Each structure stands twice: as structure tokens, then as C-alpha cells.
């Protein structure tokens, strides 16, 4: 047995290999290879598209394969953009609906999606350029980290692979519409048509799928909306001062309206199963929504995302995607199926949303005081049409509310004045029955009844004003009609540049109007002090001015204008009553 390398194989002679054995080995290997070629299985020829029956449809996979950057049919084309503009305010002049500005929409061929939707006349204060002080218009289209923007279309399963930002060919475009087309690797052509409405903040979007291959195909697609927070958005607002244009979302699924905020979605993704009526990105005063009534949808899925800080200029950018899952579309060879989607991208204005329909107006939430808020907003808008000034409109609305509540408040203030006149009689009862508090209270009530005086008269004005105050608060916090509206035209703005936000009359971010509100309320209490025998009323009436002053510091300046006007009118009423019944 040889000990040379090779272990248990026969060793080689020192002078070289055995030639006879080498020839035998080569011959045997050649014979074996030839036999395998003759007797082994022959490779099947590649099937031609038009030969034989079509192969079976592959089963859908959990996640669609990533689409090639340049699939057959549509090359990796350079990006093309088209802009569409409309002056909605001019178009609706005679419609009886006060509208501000219009829009500039931008389509991109990468994804055939809406890459920009700017609202003319509404400025984004959180994106103001610190160097120039100029704020850009509100833009309702935002990009996610996946390349998806407004109305992105992408696959989630099936045989048709489609990325959200896949390149499309711009087939046709004019000043109101555009057609974009893409042939996918599976042989399904995706055609998307956009038609922009010149008279509304709306547009239609048609998705057409045509199977140009010889085999059945399955398309499992999502229609995507995206929302992105602006810089320092999370630092804005408070409990009584909602953030202007804050990021939230809504999905109406199976008849149930589901809402969510950016913060809630960040903690946990949301999934709502059922047919989707509509869904949208809600920015408090603005709404970017798609209507899917009757479309074959199965659920609404909301997922958060975070854009890399380096890509966002050093700040972490938070956002979410709303994926509207369409039911699987099975296409036979040559078959065409289409879906039309109606979209509203604009201000949450009552008249506009009611005119648009599809229940989008329910996204304006006036809360429990909607029965008062809506008529008050209607009056403000009507007054603005004649005055062109929402500040004066609020003052006139206050006067109107004062006239409507005058019978109640007049009786209350007269009763309070009469209580002062019978003070000597009350003092006499106190001396006589002071040892028995229960008996003294009974005697006082008998005296009030005899004189026709209500002991709770001092509470009535506050009870009447509180519902009006809350209703106007909800109006100013929800009505886009007053958003970024100054007190008056320049130069008479008096530092009140937005009636839905605190005023900027004092330096260091301190509001002056709330301090005026508190001072007038104190003076009003001094004019009509509470009865000395009602300490609870005394504490409330002297404490309310201080409470309201602090409360109003973070509230809308329009609400302060209402309270200042109401206090001045009330003091005039009290002075008149005091003089008459002195």
C-alpha cells in the first residue's frame, strides 16, 4: 500500500504515470458520456406564445416581485411633469359660495401620480423661509420614503409587478387632462387618465388595465395616499388651540368613519376591513380625499414611515401612507378592465364639500354645538360678502347675538339691580333670623318672591353666553373661511393677521387681546357686583375674568374680538339699567 499523497489510491511510479491505465480511463469516461447523451432525457423546446393551450395562472404570492427598472415594453424613461391650474374662486363667483383662490396641480410620469397640489391663497406658515420670511402655498401632495405620492398605484401580490414610482410614458396632455401609460413585465398595460375640474377643487382619475400577454394575469393593486408632517408641527397647538393644518387621516369603511392622527399611527399601524367609501389625508382646514363608492375595495391600511434625517435636512420627518386595497383583478388575454376614482383636494369649506357630495362634509366637525356653529358661520360668510372684512363681521355677529339674547339678559340685570335696592330689608332679615340659617334662607326667598326677583339672576347671563362662546370657538377652530384672514385690510390689521390664531400685538409672543378681555370683565363685575349674601356667586364673578384671561392667551383672536365687543355692549346695558333703577 502506497504512503504517497492520495491515500488508498495506487501510487505513481517515480518516472511518471502509467500510460496504459490512463488510456483505459479516458476511453471509459468517453463511452459513458456518449451513452448518457444518447439514452438520457432530451431538453424540451421552449413553448411559443401561440402554440398549445395557455398555461395555468400562477398562484398569487404574498408580496409582488420587485419590478425591473427597465422592463420590456416601457424603458426607463426620464421624468416628465405637467402642471394644471384652475381659478376656482373666479369660476364660482355666481354660485353663492365664497371661495378663496384655486389650485396648481403637478403630475409626474414617474408613477403617473400627483407630485404636487398647491392651494392658491393659503400659506404654509410652518414652511416659512427664515431668511426671506416668505411662506409657500399649502401643498396637499407629499412623498413617502417608498416613492409614493398622492394617488400612487402599486402592486402587493399577483402576477403583475408595479412599483409606486415606476416610469410611465406621457401619451397625451392638454391644459385640463393627461394620459400616461406603462407596459409591465407581465405584459399588462396600465393606462392612467387624469381630468382636472376648472370650477372645483376636484379631478377624476381613471385606471385601465389591459392584458396584452397570451396568458391570464392577476393584478393585486393598492391606491395610495401619503401624508407628511411639516417641520416642528408636533410642537404647535395645545388643548384649547388646535394645530393649524395638523396631519391626520380618515377612512370610511363599511359605513363607519374611522379617523386617526399621525402620532397614533406612529405607535401602531391601522387596518380597517371592508368596502371603502372614501379615504383622505386630513390637514384640519384642508382635505385630500379619494371617493371609491362602488369600487371593488376590501380594506384600508395605514402604515407609518420615517424619512432619514440626512435626507430631510437634519430633521426626522414623520408621515403615513393610506393604502386602499383593491380586490384582485383577473385579466384574460386581451381583456380590459377599468376603474374611475373621483378626488377632492381643497379647503374644508362647508359649501364646497356639500356641493361635492359623497359625505365629505362630515369631515367638518363642529362638535356638540354644531346647531349653533353652522348658522353663525353662515351669518359671518354672508356679512363678509358685503363687508369684505371678517373682523367687522364678528363684531356685527356679536351685536346680533346680543339682540337675540337681550330679553333674557335684560331681566337678569334688572333683577340684580333690584336686589341691591332691597338690601336694607335683607339686612333686617339677617339681624332677625341670623341665628337660624335655614329659617333666614326661607324668609329671603319669600321676600324675593314678593318683590318678583330671581335670586339666580346673576348666573343667567353667564349661562346664556357660554353656549354661544363654545359655538364660536368651534366655528373659528374648524372654519377654513376664517383661516389666515386678518382683522381688516392693510394697514388696519392692528397686528391681527389670522382670526383663527392668537394676536401678535405685543412683543415676545404675548397676546394683548386676552388681557383686554380680562380687564373688561373685571370692570363689568365692578359695575354689577354680586350680592354680599351669596359668597359663591362673589367668588365666581371675580374669579372668571382671571380664568378667562389665561384661557384666551392661546385661543383665536376672533374669539377675543367677540368677547371684547360683548363686554362693551353688556357694560352699556348695565349702565343704562343702573341709571334707570337707581
Contact (CB, 8 A) for 374 and 366: yes
Residues 321, 207, single domain; the answer is yes
- Structural domain contains residue 7: no
Contact (CB, 8 A) for 228 and 319: yes
Cα–Cα distance measured from residue 218 to residue 576, given in angstroms and rounded to the nearest whole number:
81
Cα–Cα distance measured from residue 191 to residue 42, given in angstroms and rounded to the nearest whole number:
43
Rounded to two decimals, what is the model's pTM?
0.75
Give, as one character, the DSSP assignment of residue 275: -
Beta strand pairing call for 103-108 and 113-123: antiparallel
Residues 303, 439, single domain; the answer is no
Residues 335, 452, single domain; the answer is no
Residues 407, 542, single domain; the answer is yes
Q: What count of Cα atoms within 13 Å lies in the side-chain half-sphere of residue 390?
A: 25
Residues 283, 327, single domain; the answer is yes
What SS3 state is found at 59?
coil
Backbone angles phi, psi at 409, to 5 degrees: -70, -35
Residues 438, 562, single domain; the answer is yes
**Over its length of 582 residues, how does the chain's per-residue pLDDT go in tens digits?**
333 333 333 333 334 444 444 444 445 545 454 444 444 444 443 333 333 443 333 333 334 444 443 345 567 888 899 999 999 888 877 555 567 889 999 999 999 999 999 999 888 877 887 778 788 889 999 888 888 999 999 999 889 999 999 999 999 999 999 999 999 999 999 999 999 999 999 999 999 999 999 999 999 999 999 998 887 776 665 555 555 567 899 999 998 999 998 888 887 888 999 999 999 999 888 999 999 988 899 999 999 888 776 655 667 788 899 999 999 999 999 999 999 999 999 999 888 998 899 999 999 888 777 788 888 888 888 888 888 888 889 999 989 988 887 777 666 666 666 666 666 776 677 777 766 677 777 776 777 677 666 665 555 566 667 788 788 888 877 888 888 887 766 666 676 778 888 877 776 667 888 888 888 888 877 766 665 555 556 666 677 777 877 877 778 888 888 889 988 988 887 777 777 666
- Structural domain contains residue 17: no
Domain boundary, last residue among 364, 398, 428: 364
Domain boundary, last residue among 343, 364, 385: 364
Residue closest to 467 by CA, chosen among 582, 544, 366: 366
Domain boundary, last residue among 304, 331, 364: 364
Output the nine-digit C-alpha cell for 94.
Answer: 355666481
Residue closest to 365 by CA, chosen among 275, 480, 469: 480
| Three-point CA angle 310, 312, 317, nearest 5° | 115
Residues 463, 399, single domain; the answer is yes
- Structural domain contains residue 115: yes
Cα–Cα distance measured from residue 518 to residue 542, given in angstroms and rounded to the nearest whole number:
10
- Structural domain contains residue 513: yes
- Structural domain contains residue 476: yes
- Structural domain contains residue 451: yes
Give, as one character, the DSSP assignment of residue 315: S
Q: What is the DSSP string of 106-155?
A: EEETBTTEEEEEEEEEEE-GGG--TTT-PPPEEE-----TTS--BTEEEE
Give, as one character, the DSSP assignment of residue 360: G
Contact (CB, 8 A) for 203 and 197: yes
- Structural domain contains residue 274: yes
Residues 350, 377, single domain; the answer is no
What SS3 state is found at 24?
helix
- Contacts for 106 with CB less than 8 Å, ≥ 6 apart: 81, 82, 83, 84, 114, 115, 116, 117, 141
Cα–Cα distance measured from residue 404 to residue 195, given in angstroms and rounded to the nearest whole number:
48
- Structural domain contains residue 466: yes
Output the nine-digit C-alpha cell for 449.
Answer: 318672591
Please give the biggest Cα pair distance in the chain: 146
Q: Which letter, b or e, does each residue of 50-74 get, where b requires 16 or more Cβ atoms within 10 Å of its Cβ? A: eeeeeeeeeeeeeebeebeeebebb
Alpha carbon 337 to chain centroid, angstroms: 31
Residues 344, 448, single domain; the answer is no
Domains of the chain: total: 2
Residues 470, 543, single domain; the answer is yes
Cα–Cα distance measured from residue 64 to residue 100, given in angstroms and rounded to the nearest whole number:
44
Residues 337, 377, single domain; the answer is no
Domain coverage including residue 263: 81-234+242-364
Beta strand pairing call for 188-196 and 177-183: antiparallel
Residues 381, 315, single domain; the answer is no
Amino acid at each position: 500500500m502506497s504512503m504517497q499523497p492520495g491515500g488508498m489510491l495506487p501510487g505513481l511510479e517515480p518516472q511518471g504515470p502509467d500510460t496504459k491505465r490512463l488510456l483505459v480511463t479516458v476511453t471509459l469516461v468517453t463511452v459513458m458520456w456518449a451513452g448518457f447523451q444518447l439514452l438520457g432525457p432530451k431538453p424540451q423546446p421552449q413553448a411559443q406564445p401561440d402554440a398549445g393551450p395557455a398555461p395555468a395562472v400562477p398562484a398569487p404570492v404574498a408580496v409582488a416581485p420587485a419590478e425591473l427598472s427597465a422592463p420590456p415594453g416601457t424603458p426607463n424613461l426620464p421624468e416628465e411633469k405637467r402642471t394644471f391650474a384652475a381659478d376656482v374662486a373666479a369660476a364660482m363667483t355666481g354660485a353663492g359660495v365664497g371661495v378663496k383662490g384655486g389650485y396648481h396641480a403637478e403630475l409626474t410620469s414617474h408613477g403617473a401620480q400627483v407630485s404636487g397640489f398647491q392651494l392658491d391663497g393659503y400659506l404654509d406658515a410652518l414652511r416659512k423661509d427664515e431668511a426671506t420670511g416668505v411662506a409657500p402655498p399649502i401643498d396637499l401632495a407629499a412623498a413617502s420614503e417608498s416613492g409614493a405620492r398622492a394617488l400612487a398605484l402599486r402592486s402587493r401580490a399577483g402576477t403583475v409587478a408595479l412599483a409606486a414610482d415606476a416610469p410611465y410614458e406621457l401619451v397625451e396632455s392638454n391644459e385640463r387632462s393627461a394620459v400616461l401609460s406603462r407596459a409591465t413585465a407581465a405584459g399588462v398595460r396600465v393606462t392612467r387618465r387624469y381630468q382636472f375640474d376648472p370650477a372645483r377643487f376636484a379631478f377624476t382619475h381613471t385606471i385601465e388595465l389591459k392584458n396584452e400577454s397570451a396568458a391570464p394575469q392577476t393584478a393585486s393593486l393598492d391606491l395610495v395616499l401619503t401624508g407628511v408632517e411639516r417641520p416642528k408641527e408636533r410642537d404647535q397647538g395645545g388643548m384649547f388651540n388646535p394645530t393649524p393644518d395638523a396631519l391626520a387621516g380618515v377612512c370610511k369603511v363599511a359605513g363607519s368613519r374611522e379617523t386617526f392622527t399621525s402620532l397614533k399611527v406612529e405607535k401602531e399601524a391601522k387596518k380597517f376591513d371592508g368596502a371603502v367609501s372614501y379615504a383622505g389625508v386630513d390637514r384640519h382646514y384642508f382635505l385630500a380625499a379619494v371617493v371609491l363608492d362602488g369600487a371593488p375595495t376590501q380594506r384600508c391600511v395605514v402604515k407609518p414611515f420615517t424619512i432619514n434625517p440626512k435626507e430631510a435636512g437634519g430633521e426626522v420627518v414623520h408621515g403615513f401612507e393610506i393604502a386602499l386595497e383593491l380586490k384582485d383583478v383577473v385579466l384574460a388575454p386581451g381583456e380590459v378592465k377599468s376603474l374611475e376614482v373621483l378626488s377632492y383636494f381643497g379647503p374644508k369649506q362647508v359649501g364646497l364639500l356639500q356641493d361635492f357630495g359623497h359625505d365629505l362634509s362630515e369631515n367638518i366637525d363642529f362638535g356638540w354645538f354644531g346647531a349653533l356653529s353652522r348658522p353663525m358661520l353662515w351669518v359671518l360668510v354672508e356679512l363678509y360678502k358685503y363687508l369684505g372684512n371678517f373682523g367687522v363681521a364678528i363684531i356685527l355677529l356679536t351685536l346680533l347675538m346680543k339682540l337675540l339674547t337681550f330679553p333674557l339678559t335684560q331681566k337678569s340685570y334688572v333683577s340684580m339691580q333690584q336686589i341691591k335696592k332691597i338690601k336694607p330689608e335683607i339686612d333686617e332679615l339677617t339681624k332677625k333670623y341670623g341665628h337660624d340659617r335655614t329659617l333666614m334662607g326661607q324668609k329671603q326667598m319669600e321676600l324675593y318672591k314678593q318683590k318678583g326677583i330671581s335670586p339666580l339672576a346673576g348666573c343667567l347671563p353667564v349661562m346664556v353666553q357660554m353656549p354661544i362662546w363654545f359655538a364660536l370657538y368651534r366655528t373659528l377652530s374648524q372654519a377654513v373661511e376664517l383661516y389666515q384672514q386678518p382683522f381688516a385690510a392693510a394697514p388696519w390689521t392692528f397686528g391681527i393677521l389670522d382670526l383663527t390664531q392668537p394676536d401678535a400685538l405685543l412683543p415676545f409672543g404675548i397676546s394683548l387681546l386676552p388681557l383686554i378681555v380680562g380687564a373688561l370683565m373685571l370692570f363689568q363685575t365692578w359695575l354689577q357686583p354680586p350680592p354680599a349674601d351669596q359668597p359663591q356667586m362673589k367668588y365666581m364673578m371675580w374669579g372668571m375674568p382671571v380664568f378667562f384671561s389665561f384661557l384666551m392667551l392661546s385661543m383665536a383672536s376672533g374669539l377675543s374680538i367677540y368677547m371684547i365687543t360683548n363686554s362693551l355692549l353688556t357694560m352699556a346695558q348695565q349702565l343704562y339699567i343702573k341709571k334707570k333703577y337707581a
